[in-house]
Amino acid sequence: MIEANTIYFVGSGPGDPELITIKAKKLIENADVIVYSGSLLNPKLLEYSNKDAILHDAALLDRNKIYEILRDTTKQGKLAIRFHDGDPALFSTIREQIDKLSSDGINCKVIPGITAILGAASSLNLELTLPGITQTLIITRAELRTPVPEREKISNLARHGATMAFYLSIHLIRNIVDELLKGGVYQNSTPVAVVYRATWEDEKIIVGTLGNIADKVKEAKITKTAIIIVGDVITPSNYEFSKVYDPQFTHGYRKADNSK
């Protein structure tokens, strides 16, 4: 049910128009006004909107203008949607938007979407948390204009040896490689995958190692809209099989088969 006096922050998924949730699609179909992330969102997703909807490209607006559009539309009793690429919980601006709108008495709801790392993993047939390799996924970004806390420096995170995913950072790939190697766990031979525009029709996948991935990315002329994945899960060997489906493992739904 679509609620009155409510602005919906809707995740669009990684790019493929069919990888949007049913709830998100229904909201887009019923929206009177849609503010969308034009620099990152697949324009085919906007084809779900009704013919009378007013569309605003957020790439051309500052935060005050976006706020005014969402606020004024909602105060008029109409449905306003903030249409985010991927999932709104990651590397978006929903906190600052929701806090300001909430202070004006407007309700806000977030509709999740498939985030880019999951789209990229699906394109690679990856299991990001593979038994015997790692049970941890670290999602981060390289530092440039947006600061990163000292405790979250890439070289510090790299010491875990977990699967790492980098958003918004492909243009800094050489810096990332240098910092990862400083952690002392990853080696030049550590596998790396770069997925450009994951799940889009023009998706590109580059697989290499820390020793050669920067050159491969440069050769492919990829400078934006790509996810970097680092870790042994990319080309795993000697991983462990799941305990859940082990015939000799008992759990709450099945007893072990000890007849063999």
pTM of the model: 0.92
Structure tokens at 77: 């009793």
- Is 222 domain-assigned? yes
Give the contacts of 101 (CB within 8 A, at least 6 positions apart).
Answer: 7, 67, 70, 71, 108
pLDDT, tens digit (0-9, with 9 covering 90-100), for 13-61:
999 999 999 999 999 999 999 999 998 999 999 999 999 999 999 999 9
pLDDT classification of 199: cutoffs 50, 70, 90: very high
- Is 236 domain-assigned? no
Give the contacts of 242 (CB within 8 A, at least 6 positions apart).
Answer: 131
- Is 237 domain-assigned? no
- Is 164 domain-assigned? yes
Neighbour tally for 196: CB within 10 Å: 21
What is each CA distance from 107 to 7, 32, 70, 186, in whole angstroms?
A: 6, 17, 11, 45
Half-sphere exposure of 65 (CA within 13 A, CB side): 9
- Is 243 domain-assigned? no
- Is 249 domain-assigned? no
- Is 260 domain-assigned? no
Domain boundaries, position 37: 6-111
CATH of the domain at 70: 3.40.1010.10
Same domain, 168 and 199: yes
Helix (H) or strand (E) holding 220: helix 213-220
Cα 31 to Cα 29: distance, rounded to the nearest angstrom = 6
Comparison of pLDDT for 251 and 92, the residue scoring more? 92
- Is 182 domain-assigned? yes
Residue 259 pLDDT > 70: no
